[in-house]
Amino acid sequence: MIRRLLPLAAILSTTALMASQAQADYPERDINATIPWGAGGVTDLVARSVIPHAEEALDESIIPQNRPGGGAVIGVNYVRTQRPDGYNILIGTQDTTLYPVLGVADFDYDDFSVLNVIGQGLVVIAVPADSPFETMEQLVDKVLAEPGTIRMGDVGVGATPHITETIIDSATDADFDVRKVTFGGDGPGITAMLGDHIDFMPLSLPPAVEYLKSGQIRGLAILANERIDLLPDVPAITDALPEAENYLPWGSFQGVFVRKDTPDDVKQTLGDAFETAIGDPQFQDLYNNKLGGVTLNLRGDEAQEYIDNWQALTTWLLYDVGAAKVSPEEFGIARPQGQ
Helix intervals (H) in 172-285: 186-194, 205-214, 264-279, 281-284
The better pLDDT of the pair 8, 97 is held by: 97
- One-letter amino acid for residue 114 of the chain: V
pLDDT at 337 over 80: no
Mean pLDDT of 292-302: 93
Burial 183-199 (b: 16+ CB within 10 A, else e): bbbbbbbbebbeeeebb
Helix (H, G, I), strand (E, B) or coil at 253: strand
123-247 in CATH: which number?
3.40.190.10
- One-letter amino acid for residue 146 of the chain: E
DSSP type of residue 130 = T
DSSP type of residue 287 = I
The better pLDDT of the pair 1, 301 is held by: 301
Superfamily per CATH, domain 29-120+252-331: Bordetella uptake gene, domain 1 (3.40.190.150)
Same fold, 29-120+252-331 and 123-247: yes
Spell out the residues 6+ positions from residue 339 whose beta carbon is closer than 8 angstroms to its own.
Answer: 246, 313, 316, 317, 320
Query: Domain residues of the chain, as ranges?
Result: 29-120+252-331, 123-247
Angle between the 160-171 and 300-320 helix axes, to the nearest 10 degrees?
Answer: 50
| 254/118 Cα distance (integer angstroms) | 6
Percent of the chain with pLDDT over 90: 74
| 39/188 Cα distance (integer angstroms) | 8
pLDDT at site 73: 96
pLDDT at site 246: 83
How much is the mean pLDDT over the chain? 90
Q: Are 20 and 235 contacting, i.e. CB atoms less than 8 angstroms apart? A: no
CB atoms within 10 A of CB 173: 6
Q: For 102-158, write each residue's pLDDT tens digit.
A: 999 999 999 999 999 999 989 999 999 999 999 999 999 999 999 999 999 999 888
Spell out the residues 6+ positions from residue 97 whose beta carbon is closer than 8 angstroms to its own.
Answer: 108, 109, 307, 310, 311, 314, 315
What is the reported pTM?
A: 0.78
Q: How many residues does the chain have?
A: 339
